[in-house]
Chain A
């Protein structure tokens, strides 16, 4: 009896994301054209600002760094079947904590101060994520709502702390004092050092997911909670572990941003970075290595946002819109279905119970 084989066009894992980007650019271009601006001009400006010069590339990579890390934070939780929308709050917690460590400890050598500040960032980012993780593991509260709520809580709390107890004295702005020089992360070969840290973390996570039992446990729980439970994997432990790791990474993202670029903690220094993390994670298909190119793309778009306004007259929020469109086309099975590709589905826990 002959087996009929369904012919599948297998164009590789990059096809759908790339096609999605093209379609999104087309739709975005239409919206730009409505405003009587030439979309091709706008896109040219976007691209050349981001990648056209050494300076531009440096800025792009600097912007990409926190995106890689927050993308990783979301991605590793996605692998466990959790939707960590709280990367933003965890990032801010990390930023504030590292800033505090940056200005509170005086006279430390750089080799100690920087890792210490990073550790502070990781710790407090993980702490915030732990709240959501514990609520999910022990009370079955869905992490989407808790992480979003925690975002707002952390933002408000951080603003309070930066305006009163941790405020830089003798000036009216809401911000912490500057960090010591010993806490500053320098550039390496003209490129932000933080970028290399981010890539290192991503490679480490990729290795972790592929070659360790921990990674295996996370994957299993992510694909099928019950199967994992039958196999003896503690669901609660995996949930808490994934959230802790995600939170720590997001915290480090905030820490690097603070220690290498901003130099102190200022509220609203990075509005929206956390949400871009979601886009990065989904574009990169929740793959620790895949988030790198996704982050560079988005980082480039963000880096050239203001230039686009200046030179092409388009509001910088076009980037928000384009990213939203890209995300839509990447995740909606529209394009994937057209080509009968097996959807590399990352399935999240839906529903509110355990």
Chain B
């Protein structure tokens, strides 16, 4: 019987969780609950990466997308005193940034890394310049008490009482996974990312598909940003996203460009942060706060060091497609 690493890890997790649950049920479930909260923006951002890179576009600008979307989501929500309108604004911002990236990468055939860095710098510059203090949104997006699942023991406190973006996000991730491997759109998108001329000669429009995917991905990035400022906490600060967009790229690589793999990696990340948080609160381990701050970044590098080089990204990613080069 083939022993898959993922099964081993899952079993290990269940075993550890059972052990801790016996010690203190409330804390154990709250740690996993928090893990999901930490993981979700990373998972969504990783989906942005997956959608773009599978179609052959390297998207370094996820960080900037999230920052800009968190910004507009927050300020539109605060000015219009309507959190929902803020959410829409955030998603729309993501769409616009996605279109910009598509324009730069597909039509202008710019170097995609530069394009992404420009988006990040533009986002930082814009949000810095337009930032104003003393704004607040009426309320964060209210958590939802799941009807049936919420009453189950153990699973209930973990899965229930998250915000709407969280649930939508989870559904989207599963949907993306299904769509990528079982629909024509998925097959064509993957083909475009691996060997675009094959898709082209089969009658698939490489340009249109790349534009479509990058724009939708932008919307998801916008959603992730809106999650940060509207659902997780109800604030926005300069430099709010703190590198999450880059961690998401590492998660995407670690998850082998597979939506479910990336989701699992994001959950792992979230769990690491939640556990560390809990250890801090309990003062089990006395670590200087700066090292706690460092943890996600160090983890990211470790994950990359372990997985990169052994993984194969979509073969055609980063290379602008030119028709007459067949």
Contact = CB atoms under 8 A, between A and B. Distances in A.
A150 B288 CA distance: 18
Contacts of A334: 108
Nearest to A330: B118
Contacts of B305: 135, 139, 141
A320 B125 contact: yes
Contacts of A317: 125, 128-129, 131
A347 interface: yes
Contacts of B23: none
A242 interface: no
Contact of A83 (B113, B246, B293, B300): B113
Interface stretch (A95-103, A231-239, A275-283, A288-296): A275-283
Nearest to A320: B125
Contacts, number: 145
Contacts of A318: 129
Given A145-B246, A146-B304, A149-B246, A83 B117 contact: yes
Nearest to B252: A352
Band of interface residues on A: 35 or more
Given A145-B250, A146-B301, A140 B309 contact: yes
B322 interface: no
The binding surface of chain B is classed by DSSP as helix
A328 B118 CA distance: 6
A142 B59 CA distance: 13
Interface stretch (A64-72, A152-160, A194-202, A249-257): A152-160
Contact of B304 (A135, A331, A345): A135
Contact of B243 (A141, A149, A324): A149
B243 A152 contact: yes
B294 A350 contact: no
The binding surface of chain A is classed by DSSP as helix
Interface of B: 58, 60, 104, 108-115, 117-118, 121-122, 124-126, 128-129, 131, 242-243, 246-247, 249-250, 253, 288, 290-291, 293-294, 297-298, 300-301, 304-305, 308-309, 311-313, 317-319
Closest 8 pairs between A and B when the two form their complex, measured CB to CB: A350-B318, A324-B125, A160-B290, A140-B309, A320-B125, A317-B129, A321-B129, A141-B308
24 contacts: A31-B129, A135-B301, A139-B309, A144-B60, A148-B243, A149-B243, A152-B294, A153-B301, A159-B290, A278-B121, A279-B121, A317-B128, A317-B129, A320-B124, A322-B125, A325-B125, A327-B118, A332-B110, A334-B108, A349-B113, A350-B317, A353-B309, A353-B312, A354-B309
Interface of A: 31, 83, 85, 131, 135, 138-142, 144-146, 148-150, 152-153, 156-157, 159-160, 163-164, 275, 278-279, 282, 315, 317-318, 320-325, 327-328, 331-334, 337, 345-354
